[in-house]
């Protein structure tokens, strides 16, 4: 199923800016810097006003090498400006403009790894629909899933990783429901995944048809280790290339 990828025109954002990810945010002297440890060996660095309202630059970086995972900004506790989401190699994976409420860039190799469904829609709608977009790095998304997916140990094939599908059902308001699908004893098992409150909220831009949001599904094929341990108590996914 092939859906449209629609981006901002160059008049709004420089292509060179998107590629390099070079953007800075002026900080006011009265803002306080905060640092919070996040799952999957990552840390958040952001700024707040005296009333603890987020304001100014916001970063998520690797705790190991300080590599950027997310870069953006807040204005009065709301995401603003351009947000950059980076892949494992430190390259922009997705760029979203909150000012224009539009996708500015997405790596085509990321899209090619996803299965996108529009339940109940005909061929014309499918061909003209703009794809839903995950407003997070895939690394952070999978880390969040690994912290919330619970699969009985006896459902794993010995010491081998278990092939699974992570299904995200994105409603017209951008809210998502998640489930994990896998096979056990040759039968398909699907169970809901409820996300715990996190310091970083996973957001979605819903699929759009004629500029109106429609319901969609995004399927990610991956594998999950059975031990669930890798030095920091989180299960590890191996995302299929």
DSSP per position, 17-79: HHHHT-------TT-EEEEEEETTTEEEEEEE-TTS-EEEEEEEEETTT--EEEEEEEETTEE
In this structure, the number of other CB atoms found within 10 A of the CB of residue 183 comes to 13
Percentage with pLDDT > 70 across the chain: 80
Report pTM: 0.83
- Do the beta carbons of residue 72 and residue 51 sit within 8 Å? no
- Do the beta carbons of residue 72 and residue 203 sit within 8 Å? no
The pLDDT value recorded for residue 199 is: 86
In this structure, the number of other CB atoms found within 10 A of the CB of residue 217 comes to 17
Residue 193 predicted with pLDDT over 80: yes
Phi, psi values for residue 175, rounded to 5°: -75, 145
Residue 236's pLDDT band (boundaries 50, 70, 90)?
low
The pLDDT value recorded for residue 20 is: 43
* DSSP assignment of 133-168: EEES-HHHHHHHHHTT----GGGS-TTSPEEEEEEE
Helix (H) or strand (E) holding 126: helix 123-128
Residue 178 predicted with pLDDT over 90: yes
Residue with structure tokens 């440890």?
A: 37
Structure tokens at 202: 């996973």
The pLDDT value recorded for residue 8 is: 41
Surface-to-core class of residue 25, CB atoms within 10 Å of its CB (0-12 exposed, 13-18 middle, 19+ buried): middle
The pLDDT value recorded for residue 4 is: 60
Residue 152 predicted with pLDDT over 80: yes
For residues 178-198, average pLDDT: 93
More confident residue, 233 or 189: 189
- The region that residue 227 occupies, defined by phi over 0 for left and psi between -120 and 50 for alpha, beta otherwise, is alpha
Measured CA distances, 109 to 52, 65, 94, 168 (Å)? 38, 25, 11, 19
The pLDDT value recorded for residue 150 is: 87
For residues 224-235, average pLDDT: 55
The pLDDT value recorded for residue 237 is: 61
CA distance 39 to 208: 31
More confident residue, 229 or 54: 54
The pLDDT value recorded for residue 190 is: 97
Residue 197's pLDDT band (boundaries 50, 70, 90)?
confident
Percentage with pLDDT > 90 across the chain: 60
Residue 16 predicted with pLDDT over 60: no
Residue 9's pLDDT band (boundaries 50, 70, 90)?
very low
Task: Name which of 90-104, 138-152, 207-221 the model is least confident about.
Answer: 138-152
For residues 115-141, average pLDDT: 93
């Amino acid at each position: 199923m092939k859906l449209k990828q629609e981006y901002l025109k160059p008049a709004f954002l420089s292509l060179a800016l998107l590629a390099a990810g070079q953007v800075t945010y002026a900080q006011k002297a009265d803002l306080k810097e905060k640092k919070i440890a996040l799952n999957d060996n990552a840390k958040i660095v952001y700024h707040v006003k005296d009333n603890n309202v987020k304001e100014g630059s916001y970063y998520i970086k690797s705790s190991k090498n300080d590599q950027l995972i997310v870069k953006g900004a807040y204005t009065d506790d709301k995401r603003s400006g351009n947000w950059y989401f980076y892949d494992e190699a430190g390259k922009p994976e997705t760029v979203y403009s909150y000012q224009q409420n539009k996708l500015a860039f997405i790596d085509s190799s990321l899209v090619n790894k996803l299965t996108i469904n529009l339940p109940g829609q005909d061929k014309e709608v499918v061909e003209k629909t703009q794809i839903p977009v995950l407003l997070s790095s895939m690394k952070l998304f999978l880390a969040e899933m690994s912290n919330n997916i619970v699969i009985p140990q006896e459902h794993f094939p010995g010491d081998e990783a278990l092939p699974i599908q992570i299904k995200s059902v994105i409603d017209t308001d951008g809210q998502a429901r998640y489930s994990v699908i896998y096979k056990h004893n040759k039968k398909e098992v699907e169970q809901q995944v409820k996300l715990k409150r996190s310091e970083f909220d996973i957001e979605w831009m819903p699929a759009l048809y004629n500029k109106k949001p429609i319901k969609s599904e995004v399927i990610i094929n991956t594998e999950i280790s059975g031990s669930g341990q890798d030095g920091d108590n989180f299960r590890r996914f191996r995302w299929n290339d």
